[in-house]
């Protein structure tokens, strides 16, 4: 009996030692196969373009292919839920948008994932101010013009919004100006922009980055940006605040891994992404698509930033009485 007890104790101690040794070894060997980066929106929009840019540069640093997989729908919730339930081994990552990680919980109390508990935040990738624009042939050149037109046709104008930050921004604008413009949701910026450029909707709410090509092509007219200051990408476009409406907002993207991902793997991803974000070629790619970069955020700082964003926008959404589908 004593021999059996000693054998069990020895076996338990050996298992613990092997686990301790294996944990750092797992991080050292990572990645040993292709990594999947999941994007929650349709191809062609800012989230997709930025995600693919990250994947391209991350591949070079990690030494393994980084495969992009689009899982569009439900304001990115389908993608977020998929990654949250994936194996926490660093091989399935999320290009997490502000909509997924800070807005969706306020809009959908039945959300199937928790943005703070179900993920390991790696770092911020980039951000973009939001932009209100209209089709070039619409006789609207300012927010005042838009308000005047909307009040002459209550409930008969439509705005396109590809994700929750865009919807919340415009609903706040509607509340502050007393207008009634109906929302038409899209599964990504690409389809929303095409609809606006074709005149299927009267207003587009998007990131500056997403609308830039159509603005430069003369198919859309920019009315306002939602930052505290004007965007360097459209310097002649005034802010919403400049035009008398007290509101500011921006959309952002960060990299996330499933909760339970080993610290050694998360740290390796952070170091790899830090190298990517410092790359001049990556910065040039961001500028080319209209994204701006914030100072590098360590994981703990990024988590605190996300927590503040979640608290802020949950309150705004509650005050606006918004829910999925309204």
Condensed to tens digits (0 to 9), the pLDDT of residues 206-236 reads 989 889 889 999 999 999 999 999 998 999 9
User: What is the share, in percent, of the chain residues with pLDDT greater than 90?
Assistant: 75
User: What is the share, in percent, of the chain residues with pLDDT greater than 70?
Assistant: 91
Q: Rounded to two decimals, what is the model's pTM? A: 0.83
Question: Cα 292 vs. chain centroid, distance in angstroms?
Answer: 13
The pLDDT value given to residue 136:
96
Distance CA 146, CA 179 (A): 9
The pair of three-digit structure tokens given for residue 165, joined into one six-digit string: 């930050």
The pair of three-digit structure tokens given for residue 290, joined into one six-digit string: 């209209």
Condensed to tens digits (0 to 9), the pLDDT of residues 280-322 reads 999 999 888 888 888 899 999 999 999 999 999 999 999 999 9
The pLDDT of residue 175 is above 70: yes
Domain boundaries defined on the chain = 20-127+252-320, 129-225
**For residues 80-85, average pLDDT:** 98
Fold of 129-225: D-Maltodextrin-Binding Protein; domain 2 (3.40.190)
Distance CA 153, CA 148 (A): 9
Ranges 28-37, 45-54, 120-129: which has the least confidence: 45-54
The pLDDT value given to residue 275:
97
The pLDDT value given to residue 42:
83
The pLDDT value given to residue 19:
45
Domain 20-127+252-320 has CATH 3.30.360.10: no
Condensed to tens digits (0 to 9), the pLDDT of residues 129-154 reads 999 999 999 999 999 999 999 999 99
247 exposure class (CB count in 10 Å sphere: 0-12, 13-18, 19+):
middle
The pLDDT of residue 199 is above 80: yes
The pLDDT value given to residue 9:
46
- Average pLDDT of the chain? 90
CA 71 → CA 39, 101, 220, distances in Å? 6, 16, 28
| Helices then strands, each counted (H, E), the chain | 12, 9
The pLDDT value given to residue 27:
60
The pLDDT of residue 37 is above 70: yes
Ranges 23-32, 161-170, 228-237, 280-289: which has the least confidence: 23-32
Instruction: Supply the DSSP symbol for 212.
Output: H
Residues 10, 17 contacting (CB under 8 angstroms) = no
The pLDDT of residue 187 is above 50: yes
Q: Helix, strand or coil for residue 163?
A: coil
In three state form, how does the secondary structure of 27-92 look? HHHCCCCCEEEEECCCCCCHHHHHHHHHHHHHHHHHCCCEEEEECCCHHHHHHHHHHHCCCCCCCE
**For residues 265-278, average pLDDT:** 97
Within this chain, domains 20-127+252-320 and 129-225 share the same CATH topology: yes
Sign of torsion over alpha carbons 29, 258, 85, 54: negative
**For residues 61-69, average pLDDT:** 97
């Amino acid at each position: 009996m004593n021999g059996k007890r000693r054998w069990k104790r020895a076996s338990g101690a050996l298992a613990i030692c092997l686990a301790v040794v294996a944990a750092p070894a797992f991080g050292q060997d990572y990645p040993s196969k292709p990594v999947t980066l999941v994007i929650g929106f349709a191809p062609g929009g800012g989230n997709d373009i930025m995600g693919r840019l990250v994947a391209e540069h991350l591949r070079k640093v990690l030494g393994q292919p980084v495969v992009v997989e689009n899982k569009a729908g439900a304001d990115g919730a389908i993608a977020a839920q998929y990654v949250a339930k994936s194996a926490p081994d660093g091989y399935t990552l999320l290009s997490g948008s502000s909509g997924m990680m800070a807005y969706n919980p306020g809009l959908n109390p039945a959300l199937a994932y928790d943005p703070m508990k179900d993920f390991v935040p790696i770092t911020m990738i980039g951000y973009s101010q939001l932009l209100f624009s209209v089709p070039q042939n619409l006789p609207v050149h300012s927010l005042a013009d838009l308000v005047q037109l909307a009040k002459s046709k209550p409930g008969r104008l439509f705005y396109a919004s590809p994700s929750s930050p865009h919807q919340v921004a415009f609903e706040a604008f509607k509340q502050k100006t007393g207008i009634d413009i109906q929302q038409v949701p899209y599964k990504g910026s690409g389809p929303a922009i095409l609809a606006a450029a074709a005149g299927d909707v009267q207003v587009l709410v998007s990131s500056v980055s997403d609308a830039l090509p159509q603005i430069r092509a003369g198919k859309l007219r920019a009315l306002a940006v939602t930052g505290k200051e004007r965007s360097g990408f459209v310097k002649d476009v005034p802010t919403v605040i400049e035009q008398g409406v007290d509101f500011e907002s921006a959309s952002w993207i960060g990299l996330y891994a499933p909760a339970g991902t080993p610290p050694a793997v998360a740290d390796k991803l952070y170091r790899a992404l830090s190298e990517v974000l410092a790359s001049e070629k990556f910065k040039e790619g961001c500028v080319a698509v209209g994204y701006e970069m914030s100072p590098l955020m360590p994981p703990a700082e990024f988590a605190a930033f996300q927590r503040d964003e979640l608290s802020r926008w949950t309150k705004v959404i509650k005050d606006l009485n918004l829910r999925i589908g309204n």
